[in-house]
Amino acid sequence: MASDMTLYWGAGSGPCWRAMICLEEKGLSDYNSKLISFDNKEHKSDEVLKINPRGQMPTFKHGNAIVNESFAICLYLENTFKGQGAKLLPDDPVQQALVLQRAVESQNIREKAAFGVLSYFFRTKPEDRTEAMLEEKKKTCHEELQIWEGYLAKLGDGSYIAGKNFTLADACTFPFIATLVRMGFNMSRYPHLAKYYDLVKDRPCVKASWPPHWKDTLNKDVLKDI
């Protein structure tokens, strides 16, 4: 029973999706789900600001426990519901180290794709953009993805992002990979990331939390030459 849990979230937000995946994996899918409209500025409502002074998504409450940072929500759910649902953080120190490392490190994908190329493309006025700067940002994003391509190559076919099981590292990383795909990045250049995407995209926890508007609108092609 997760009737004392509320997640405020925005559609298509990678950080929100991380939390939603963990809620599903821990068997807490009956949480109160409040989809927030950014257009209507609902993330800056009194209801949200009372528990999240930055007015950002996700915002999460479980009884009197409040956690808003996406990775902190994932850790909180794993620690609080240790014996329930999937085990998302292995006990073995070497494996745990890898899961924690990849989970935090995945923020780099977001920074270099979402805050790098995508923000430059969508949020910088065309007259302020230069082709050279766009190319530089694409190159930085490509170099980041090559690091992950290397990680997966080393782990071997059929691996999750930190080994043979689905973990917190996947909950944290997959939403950012799926965002790249949504934005049309050329997966044929990253065969290991492509296989990883295929492995995870149909997992029940991921399907259950897939961004609703992605299902019936076309992918974009901003990242097609990355």
Q: Which residues would be at the binding site for a copy of itself (CB under 8 A)? A: 53-54, 62-69, 71-72, 75-76, 79-80, 93-94, 96-98, 100-101, 103-105, 108, 147, 150
Single-letter amino acid code for the residue at 186: N
Cβ closer to a copy of itself: 107 or 186? 107
Cβ closer to a copy of itself: 72 or 208? 72
Cβ closer to a copy of itself: 35 or 147? 147
Cβ closer to a copy of itself: 151 or 166? 151
Cβ closer to a copy of itself: 100 or 178? 100
Minimum CB distance to a copy of itself, residue 182 (Å): 25
Beta carbons of 180 and 109 less than 8 angstroms apart: yes
Short-list 172, 189, 192, 185, CA closest to 138: 185
Minimum CB distance to a copy of itself, residue 216 (Å): 33
Short-list 1, 34, 38, 39, CA closest to 20: 34
Instruction: Give the C-alpha separation, 161 to 151, whole Å.
Output: 8
Cβ closer to a copy of itself: 94 or 218? 94
Cβ closer to a copy of itself: 65 or 133? 65
Minimum CB distance to a copy of itself, residue 166 (Å): 18
Host H or E run for residue 34: strand 32-35
Minimum CB distance to a copy of itself, residue 82 (Å): 11
* Residue 108 CA neighbour count, 13 Å, CB half: 15
| DSSP structure string for 92-120 | SHHHHHHHHHHHHHTHHHHHHIIIIIIHH
Please report which residue ranges of the chain form alpha helices under DSSP H. 14-25, 46-49, 70-80, 93-105, 107-112, 119-123, 131-155, 168-182, 191-201, 204-208, 212-215
Minimum CB distance to a copy of itself, residue 108 (Å): 8
- For residue 199, which phi and psi values (nearest 5 degrees)? -65, -40
Instruction: Give the C-alpha separation, 43 to 45, whole Å.
Output: 6
Minimum CB distance to a copy of itself, residue 71 (Å): 6
Minimum CB distance to a copy of itself, residue 131 (Å): 20
Beta carbons of 68 and 13 less than 8 angstroms apart: no
